[in-house]
Chain A
Amino acid sequence: MAAAADQIKQAMPFTTRYPELGTGPLDVRPLIDPELFELERERIFKQSWLYVARAEELAEPGDYKLRRLDVANTSVIIVRDRNGEVHAFHNICTHRGNKLIPDQEAQSLGHTATHTLTCRFHAWTFNTDGALRGIARQESFADLDKSCLGLKRIHCAEWEGFIFINLAEQPRQSLVEYLDGMADHFAGYPYHEATVRLRYSTVLNCNWKVALYAFSEAYHVPTIHKGTFPSLARLEHTEIKCFGPHSTSGIYVPPVPGLEPTPVTANLGGRLRTSDRHRPHLELLPENINPDNRQDFQFEFPVFFPNFLLHLGAGNGYPGMAYFTHQFWPVAVDKTLWEGTNHFRPPETVSERVAIAHTNALHRNAWLEDTSTMEDTYQALASGVLEEMVLMDEELMIRNTHKHWHDYMGI
């Protein structure tokens, strides 16, 4: 018995630090069951804090962002009012319920110069702080209390320029409490300087957790990314730790002797690596990220429960890339909107812009490799043939997410 425990500890040094997570296999049903998907809407997505916007997307008073949230059957307006305060509202007019702003896109940005939002249907007008401002032909309504007819407010909070919402009537925790140790772990990097956002999206025919889990481990890197990043074949995935439902880890890539960068990568990547603005800025990393100040640091690799990944590389991993994010938005049990965004500091020269386009293209190509397994995985899992999945040590972030998924779901 003792020998077995030792052996498990040796095989799974990270996982065994969290005895409550166990070392056994995970149940597959949460990834394929339509009834559980209906419960997830209420118990996960209407209870947790969801990242919806960067503060720079709403830089000026009057700027707003529209974010469709199919999982909660709603769409959300995040808007900066004339005093600079950010609010979130359901995108619904309080007269007869039309969408205040049409939302064909999954997300879009807009600006209101008048600091008001007017419904197209009968022209009710709201201030950007949510107050109902004007009603056409108000005298024809009986007993109308305008102060009760403001926009339907959603809890909204900002951390390090990341704006989150919480759809609960009364969130169980503040955003910072919810973020747990992640709030400090990632604090202090100048995220706001990386204002160039290159975003890709696609609708994957798979459950959101199939996509999330595929992006939550690096075990796949030597196989899936051997085309685009042969240099990553020996990466090190380490410092894996859990903070409540969230988890984080570090990716390091020791140099491979004899493996030189290809000529265009050497040229364009080299330009970013030697530009003062885009070069590696390890000194800007929060102190517990890359704690040993290793030069081969690639990026910090976390999972923010339930659907947000924030990879912080500070220009040291992919050339010029400050950080990149992923989000997984459930649409149906078998449909997920995936969004991946590369964040760079703005180019000062044309050649920097060309070099950024190159890093971006390589990373997009890697994402094409990542997303290539997800629909296959889902289809196969949906057969029900596999009831459990087994995990290795470095798949710990999946294990942690799955455990807290069960806790949130109460099952």
Chain B
Amino acid sequence: MALLPEQFSQLESLAETWALPTELQRSERRWAAGPDDFRRFYDAMLPVLDQVLDYLDRYEPDNVPEPALPLYRLALAFAEAAPHNELYDCSNTVPNSFDAHRFVAAHGEIRDR
């Protein structure tokens, strides 16, 4: 079964690994990513970012229905991953930074609903 609406089928393989429900899970994915992971994600997502967000905007932010959740999670993962492409040379850490694993997202995760 496809995770994403048909018009985004080119993102399907990305959704399989990046479309995770909680901020912590998405962070763990990010910390495990290599430069090519970041590049593939960015190069596929940036050209369709507007279409993805337009598609999602037909729903209320707290009421995204089950079938659209993977796309929503993918968009959140992209928002969190893109700085690694645009600023950190596709490294999975912020250069010269504190250990990200020690930072607790105490707000209880940016969730998908």
Contact = CB atoms under 8 A, between A and B. Distances in A.
A and B interact: yes
Interface of A: 106-107, 197-203, 224, 227-228, 230, 262-265, 267-268, 271, 339, 341, 347-355, 357-358, 360-362, 364-365, 367-372
Nearest to B80: A361
Contact of B86 (A200, A263, A347): A263
A362 B83 contact: yes
A357 to B, nearest CB: 4
B71 to A, nearest CB: 10
The winner among A106, A227, A265 for most chain B CB atoms within 10 A is: A227
17 contacts: A107-B106, A198-B105, A198-B107, A198-B110, A200-B105, A200-B106, A200-B107, A201-B103, A202-B102, A227-B97, A262-B86, A264-B49, A264-B83, A268-B79, A341-B107, A350-B61, A357-B79
Interface in B28-69: 46, 49-50, 53-54, 56-57, 59-61, 64
Nearest to B93: A368
B88 interface: yes
Given A107-B106, A351-B57, A354-B56, 7 more contacts: A197-B107, A227-B96, A264-B78, A264-B85, A357-B80, A364-B103, A371-B98
A263 B56 CA distance: 20
What interface size band does chain B fall in? 35 or more
Given A228-B83, A262-B86, A339-B106, A372 B49 contact: no
Contact of B64 (A264, A267, A350, A358): A350
B104 interface: yes
Interface of B: 46, 49-50, 53-54, 56-57, 59-61, 64, 72, 75-76, 78-80, 82-83, 85-88, 94-98, 100, 102-107, 110
B72 to A, nearest CB: 6
Contacts of B110: 198, 353, 357, 360
A202 B59 contact: no
The main secondary structure of chain A at its interface with chain B is helix
B46 A264 contact: yes
A346 to B, nearest CB: 8
Contact of A201 (B50, B96, B100, B106): B106
Contacts of A230: 87
Nearest to A348: B61
Contact of B79 (A224, A354, A372): A354
Contacts of A200: 103-107
B61 A347 contact: yes
Nearest to A365: B94
A14 B45 CA distance: 48
B103 A368 contact: yes
A354 B53 contact: yes
Q: What 6 pairs between A and B have smallest CB-CB spacing?
A: A262-B86, A358-B79, A368-B97, A351-B53, A264-B82, A371-B98
